[in-house]
């Protein structure tokens, strides 16, 4: 959503993109939304900043909580991308906007320009640390009911590449092509979107976990008991891993594939045209966070084409470590060049470094 482009319904922007509507934003009732949209219209169709928006709208109809949720949902990102700074400065912005909007006998002592100037001294606070990706996405989920600017699993791209079979879509493609089959053991990474607790005929608890990643979704069964063919022993998956059976948990799931063909038109098709249904019988659940940086042997940083970011060296110096670093770039004639930086410019693993480099330098980081 965007404070200057969003309306009651989804809209198409001038550059052909779909703009998220305002209606689902938590706490933004009809009166508050009307106050914001009417104020925007009266200001020529666009606000200059957060303070301008607050000052232009009727504060009584659009209160502090409304502005907080608009900021958390990313509605002001086009005007100021640091949501943390906007939230920190919000109380002062509201206070100053109130001063400029006073409707009392004071107006008889000052002209309108002087009254307005009483509320024009607000600025975005400086030196406020921007939110991490996880904090930003959590705020979006809280205010919109879904993630908009990304997905929590994006932070774990390297861990997923190094410690799983890859995305769920790739898993299903491997099954359809015959590379993986029924009863094979695999490890995947996914977010728990729903948990359905069950009780079997013996009165034992078990659970069905709905899992999804950036590419697809799958059902995982956390059984009360299971026979492990590798150890020839009976295990208790639910008892051992039930503490991971919670919505929004990011997990590395190890389990045994169950691949069935059926006639349902809603299931995936293999190469022969048969319908296939894929499930995982869980053998183990682990926090995906535990795999951040595990077995990492180095890093590759891809530089923007025809540009060397001046601030790259200072960021690398602050993250200095023993992991070998390789710089990758494309020359003017299209040749791909890789240069090892040597021990002096090695890195230490930092799960937040990739996002920082992309935002501040335009470089792409991959841990290897």
- Provide mean pLDDT across the span 156-171: 94
pLDDT higher than threshold 80 for residue 306: no
Alpha carbon separation from 231 to 48, 101, 202, 226, 283 (Å, rounded): 66, 74, 25, 11, 12
Residue 183, phi-psi category: left (phi > 0), alpha (psi -120 to 50), beta (remainder): left
Alpha carbon separation from 309 to 37, 319, 324 (Å, rounded): 40, 16, 20
Relative to beta strand 325-330, strand 336-340 is antiparallel
pLDDT at position 113: 53
Percentage of residues in the chain having pLDDT higher than 90: 69
pLDDT at position 61: 67
pLDDT at position 342: 87
Alpha carbon separation from 332 to 173, 306, 339 (Å, rounded): 37, 7, 16
Asked if 128 and 88 count as a contact pair (C-beta separation under 8 A), the reply is yes
Q: What is the secondary structure of 205-271 as a DSSP string?
A: EEEEEEEE-SS-EEEEEE-S-EEETTTTEEE-HHHHHGGG--TT-EEEEEEEEEEEEE--TTSEE-T
**Residue 278's closest CA among 268, 286, 288?**
268
pLDDT higher than threshold 60 for residue 235: yes
pLDDT at position 359: 87
- Whose structure tokens read 């295990």? 235
- pLDDT category, 297, cuts 50, 70, 90? very high
Specify the higher pLDDT residue, 202 or 119: 202
- Provide mean pLDDT across the span 91-116: 61
- Provide mean pLDDT across the span 19-24: 93
**Of the candidate ranges 195-204, 213-222, 277-286, 304-313, the one whose mean pLDDT is the lowest:** 304-313
pLDDT at position 344: 85
- Provide mean pLDDT across the span 256-260: 94
- pLDDT category, 133, cuts 50, 70, 90? confident
pLDDT digits (tens, 9 = 90+) for 24-82: 999 998 989 999 999 999 888 899 999 999 988 865 667 899 999 999 999 999 999 99
pLDDT higher than threshold 60 for residue 251: yes
pLDDT higher than threshold 60 for residue 112: no
**Residue 188's closest CA among 45, 284, 92?**
284
- Provide mean pLDDT across the span 84-99: 90
pLDDT digits (tens, 9 = 90+) for 188-210: 999 999 999 999 999 999 999 99
Measured distance CA(312)–CA(314) in Å, rounded: 6
Q: Helices in the chain by DSSP H: which ranges?
A: 30-42, 50-56, 64-72, 83-100, 112-117, 133-144, 157-163, 168-177, 237-241, 312-318, 353-360
pLDDT higher than threshold 50 for residue 103: no
pLDDT higher than threshold 60 for residue 269: no
Neighbouring residues of 248: CB distance < 8 A, sequence distance ≥ 6? 152, 191, 192, 193
Structure-block tokens of residue 220: 């995982």
Measured distance CA(90)–CA(135) in Å, rounded: 18
pLDDT at position 196: 97
pLDDT at position 266: 53
Neighbours of 120 (CB within 10 A): 14
pLDDT higher than threshold 90 for residue 221: yes
pLDDT at position 106: 42
pLDDT higher than threshold 90 for residue 318: yes
Asked if 210 and 194 count as a contact pair (C-beta separation under 8 A), the reply is yes
pLDDT at position 55: 87
CA pseudo-torsion sign 253, 254, 255, 257? positive
**Of the candidate ranges 67-76, 120-129, 308-317, the one whose mean pLDDT is the lowest:** 120-129
């Amino acid at each position: 959503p965007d404070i200057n482009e969003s309306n009651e319904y989804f809209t198409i922007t001038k550059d052909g993109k779909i703009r998220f509507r305002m209606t689902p934003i938590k706490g933004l009732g009809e009166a508050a939304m009307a106050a914001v949209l009417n104020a925007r219209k009266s200001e020529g169709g666009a606000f200059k900043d957060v303070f301008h928006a607050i000052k232009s709208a009727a504060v009584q109809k659009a209160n502090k909580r409304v502005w907080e949720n608009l900021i958390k949902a990313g509605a002001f990102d086009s005007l100021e991308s640091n949501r943390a700074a906007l939230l920190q400065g919000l109380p002062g912005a509201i206070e100053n906007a109130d001063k400029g909007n006073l409707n009392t006998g004071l107006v008889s002592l000052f002209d309108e320009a002087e009254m307005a100037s009483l509320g024009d001294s607000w600025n975005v606070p400086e030196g406020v640390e921007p939110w991490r990706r996880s904090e930003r996405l959590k705020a979006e989920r809280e205010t919109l009911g879904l993630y908009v600017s990304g997905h929590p699993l994006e932070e774990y791209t390297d861990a997923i590449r190094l410690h799983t079979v890859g995305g769920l879509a790739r898993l299903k493609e491997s099954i359809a092509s015959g590379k993986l089959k029924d009863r094979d053991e695999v490890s995947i990474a996914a977010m728990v979107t729903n948990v359905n607790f069950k009780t079997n005929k013996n009165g034992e608890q078990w659970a069905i976990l709905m899992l999804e990643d950036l590419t697809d979704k799958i059902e995982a069964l956390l059984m009360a008991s299971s026979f492990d063919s590798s150890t020839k022993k009976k295990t208790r998956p639910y008892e051992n891993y039930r503490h991971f059976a919670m919505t929004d948990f990011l997990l590395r799931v190890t389990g045994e594939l169950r691949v069935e063909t059926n006639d349902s038109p809603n299931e995936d098709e293999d190469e022969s045209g048969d319908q296939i249904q894929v499930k995982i019988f869980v053998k183990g659940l682990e926090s995906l966070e535990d795999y951040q940086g595990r077995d990492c042997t180095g890093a590759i940083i891809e530089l923007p084409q025809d540009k060397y970011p001046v601030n790259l060296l200072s960021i690398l110096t602050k993250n200095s470590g023993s992991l070998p670093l390789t710089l990758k770039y494309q020359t003017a004639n299209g040749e791909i060049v890789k240069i090892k930086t040597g021990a002096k410019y090695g890195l230490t693993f930092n799960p937040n470094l990739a996002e920082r480099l992309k935002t501040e330098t335009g470089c792409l980081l991959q841990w290897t």
